[in-house]
Chain A
Amino acid sequence: MKGTNLGELEELILLTVGILYKEAYGVAVMDEIEKQTGRSLNISAVHAVLQRLEEKGLATSKMSEPTGERGGRRKRIFFLTASGKKALAEANELRNQLFNQIPKVALGSLKFEV
């Protein structure tokens, strides 16, 4: 899908959804991001982004089985769609391409193997 530019947070959450395959719901995404990046997001922000991703077609959601701990309420589990996966891959590739073009001199002492 041309023109779907992923925002920074959107990409982050989309990646997390990928990581948490089959377990990706609001609280879990929030926890995972905190664990991996140290950023503590508010649950409503996470929900907002997840909805946006779904609207853009990069993710899709399904209701899970009812769980006892949430008073019998079901969770909404998110999955990557084909276009979501593609968007992530493209974004990643683009970033690497650009990074590799930075002259060694500018990077200074940073030595990176890509």
Chain B
Amino acid sequence: MSHDETEFARFFEASWEPCMRAVAASTGDLLLAEDQVAEAFARAWASWRKVRRHPAPRAWVVRTALNAGASWWRRSSRELPLSDHDFAAPVSQGSGLDAVVLAALRRLPARQREVIVLRVFLDLDIETTARQLAIAPGTVRAHLSRAVTALRSELAQTTATEADSCAATTS
């Protein structure tokens, strides 16, 4: 195995799950995310000499995955003979709150969602996030602020609805 292959293998092994979480959170569809992340890693290998020098290779993969429409992985996968996403596995397997939070994320504007994905799920700092998106750090903060406000509002509404529901049940 060449040095490049060894290096890419390590990167792939360490980064598959974080990238999957980031893309799955954004798309809400595990199978679609798997499809897109696999395609993105293939593209990363195709351009490995460039990607390996990238300041945030995982961010490169995630952004590529979110931009990738191709579904070669699904078509070629022998284990997943589905031809479309009619039977997609939803991401929300946890509590009701988790589902609400993730649904709220997917209702955010695309740019805010991108900022959240890079900042929260890939743990990039503000400056690196800004460089990835070719925007100013201040703009990243602004997007984060708006996103937090929107999420807070969604969660508050849900909490209020649940409280009303509980009150109605117990009264």
A binds B: no
